[in-house]
Amino acid sequence: MKRKVFKSLMSKLLVVACALTMCVSTPSLTAQAAETTLLNTYGSSYGYSGTCINLYQLRDANQLAFLKKHYNSITLENEMKPDALLGGSARLISVSQAKNQGYYIPDNYRESYVPQINFSTVDEVMKICYNNGLKMRAHTLVWHSQTPSWFFRSNYAGYGGFVNQQVMDARLEMYVKTVMNHVYLNQYGSVVYAWDVANEILHAENSGWEAVYGNNKVNATYVKKAFNYAYQTLEYFKLQDSVKLFYNDYNTYMEVNDVIKLVNYINQGKKVCAGVGMQSHLGTNFPSVDYYTNALNSFLRAGFEVQITELDISNKGDYDMANYAYNLFKNINKAKKNGGKITGVTWWGLSDKTTWVKNQAPLLFSVPGSPKQSYNKVIQAYTEVLGQPSNPQPQPTNPQPTQPSGQNVNNNSTANIANGWYYLKNTNSQKYLTVADDKAAAATNVVISKGTGVQGQKWYVENKGNGYITLKSGLGEFMLDVANGADEDGANLQIYTAYGHDAQQFIVKNTKKSGVYTIGTKVSNAVRYVDVYEHKKTDGSNVCQWLYYGNPNQEWIFEPVNNQSASQSQINPQPQSKPQPAEQPAATGLKAEASINSWGGGYTASIKISNNTGKTVNGWTLKLKKSEVKMDSSWNVNVKESGEYYVITPVDWNSSIADGGNVEFGFNGSGNVSSNLYMDVQ
């Protein structure tokens, strides 16, 4: 009885003590908990705090909000792997169609057809990432698994024999460069900061790659070629210093020497592979923390950049996982503190609710928003080694860059250039802003050249009402554009599909000379200006953006196209009429035409919508009967089903059609297709 009374008394005293403790301590603990996240600890020190995700989760506002609290990087679980882009069976299009759709076709490509690549999911994911301040690891280009067998066979047929190495080299280059080009030509492609170019080569068995190239794993020629193709693409877009290429594999702690041999082989002659993605599907029973850490340190000593990828920890319970995770991250953080180039940690899933590991709970959250003991121990491991997070104030999703200190500032007034067609003459060279080779294609460079009056020298000024203008090319639906929206000196000026976002907006400033102007870029917050590289004066000299200093190679004259006296000796163009201001969608005068390429069991349809309304059309809708087509996938449009119809609407960049202009999109279908499609376009 006394024992029970004593226990009761102690319980009451503990309650009082706990209540007092809560009164004193809870506010600071709550504040600390609110401030400490994976994002402002690991994301801050390592650069990227990542998670694996699927499109359906990104579409969920609650999951997206939770993701943004802890992560600034995502990796698609399966939706960027080769089978997701290529499909279970080949959907072939002609080489000419492929080129029209922006595919990269190398000179040694000798086949008549190319497999259709479906980018719809990737495009939507990049847009979501861009709009929410997230970055993206692209996973993966070359993999023995989840790559359809037909990709390696004659005529892209599942029953065909394997092609030879020469044919496969061309296919590999086509695929790698087409996928990467598509990403970096996309208005949201700047979110992709890293690529797993090759995945799990050391574990490939009976793959199409081995059937074509043999099974030499640490000297795999196709892997070296893939990295070289990928690096060439980065060089083309001038991204080789900001985007990294990785070799990604599992059980790397068991194959340290082979991983190092393979990466060194890839980098023979030129360093194109930044380092290793250490897939970390771990278990508390294996590997030991020391075994894993030894591998990590070996890669760092070899001079590799390391990103920890696909991390989950199988366990016997949360206490078991928490203990393992704490010791693991103590070691990882020590390696980072000692100068190890570890640039990201990616957990393979938002929570145990969506893990791929069966009958386990291998992640830090049981469900989104419910941290486990393991989460607390991972944070503790950080703070004990690297200190408390600095808790910076939240930044805007896409903040404008701040002006670097110590530079010249353009305090001149903003000029008012009336809407209309102009030639832009550089005062230093007395030559004109020109689309290289007068080529009407997205991502074509802009240079200076002698005035000839070609369409590639004509620019339509349209005031946006916010102090900025757009400059539309005379070559069609393209605008002057800062490549990849980069805020850096030397970023190329090019033309790109007209959508009028920040990379395509410019501000014109007066100078002390009447009629002479400088042109600032919106992506730099008017810190950088349209500039002829290295003050050059010869035809073909590149045009880029550079910090403002107001020298003549940054000065431009707007010569109206219909003003013959402005530069009669060099330019003698035909007068151009101003485009009509944008109008509301027209109900008539739009025409839809279909081009069908059928094969056994399916077809590819290319649809062209032409505008003959007499005015610019902003927005259009096309209806197709579901009884006549069966759409499996589409590109450059949004598709919904309504009753007996597919209702097709444009994406941002192709919603506007100038009078006399047209836009194109396409879709893949299965079964038979009507020779006379019903198409209602408004």
CATH number of the domain enclosing 58: 3.20.20.80
Residues 335 and 314 both lie in one domain:
yes
Residue range(s) defining the domain that contains residue 665: 590-681
Domain membership of residue 115 (yes or no) is: yes
Residues 477 and 610 both lie in one domain:
no
pLDDT for position 1:
36
Cβ neighbours of residue 587 under 8 Å, at least 6 residues apart? Answer: 682
Residues 81 and 212 both lie in one domain:
yes
Domain membership of residue 574 (yes or no) is: no
pLDDT for position 601:
55
Chain center to CA of 647: 28
Report how far residue 457's alpha carbon sits from residue 112's, in angstroms, rounded to the nearest whole number: 35
The label of the residue with tokens 């190329």 reads 492
Q: Which of 560, 582, 599 delimits the end of a domain?
A: 560
Residues 221 and 82 both lie in one domain:
yes
Residues 89 and 170 both lie in one domain:
yes
Domain membership of residue 13 (yes or no) is: no
How would DSSP label each residue in 457-473? G-EEEEE-SSS-EEEEE
Domain membership of residue 650 (yes or no) is: yes
- Told to judge if 200 belongs to the known catalytic residues of this protein, a careful annotator would answer yes
How would DSSP label each residue in 274-321? -EEEEEEEEETTBS-HHHHHHHHHHHHHTT-EEEEEEEEEE-SSHHHH
Residues 489 and 442 both lie in one domain:
yes
Residues 472 and 533 both lie in one domain:
yes
Burial-class residue 216 by CB neighbours within 10 Å (0-12, 13-18, 19+). exposed
Torsion of CA 245, 152, 118, 503, to 10 degrees: 30
Digit-coded pLDDT (tens) for 186-226: 989 999 999 999 999 999 888 899 999 999 899 999 999 99
Percentages of the chain per state (helix, strand, coil), in multiples of 5:
35, 30, 40
Domain membership of residue 404 (yes or no) is: no
Cβ neighbours of residue 610 under 8 Å, at least 6 residues apart? Answer: 590, 591, 592, 593, 657, 661, 662
- Domain with residue 431: its CATH number is 2.80.10.50
Digit-coded pLDDT (tens) for 633-644: 666 678 888 888
- Domain with residue 674: its CATH number is 2.60.40.290
The two structure tokens encoding residue 566: 């402005």
Digit-coded pLDDT (tens) for 318-376: 999 999 999 999 999 999 999 999 999 999 999 999 999 988 899 999 999 999 999 99
Domain membership of residue 607 (yes or no) is: yes
Residues 56 and 115 both lie in one domain:
no
Provide the domain count of the chain: 4
Residues 64 and 96 both lie in one domain:
no
Pick the catalytic residue from 77, 200, 255, 559. 200
Nearest residue to 198 via CA among 161, 160, 231: 231
Domain membership of residue 153 (yes or no) is: yes
Digit-coded pLDDT (tens) for 541-561: 999 998 888 888 899 999 998
Residues 432 and 544 both lie in one domain:
yes
Domain membership of residue 42 (yes or no) is: yes
Helix (H) or strand (E) holding 193: strand 192-199
Residues 654 and 513 both lie in one domain:
no
Residues 623 and 677 both lie in one domain:
yes
pLDDT for position 578:
32
Regions of the chain with pLDDT less than 70: 1-35, 390-408, 563-588, 597-604, 633-636, 651-654, 674-675
Pick the catalytic residue from 305, 310, 555, 559. 310
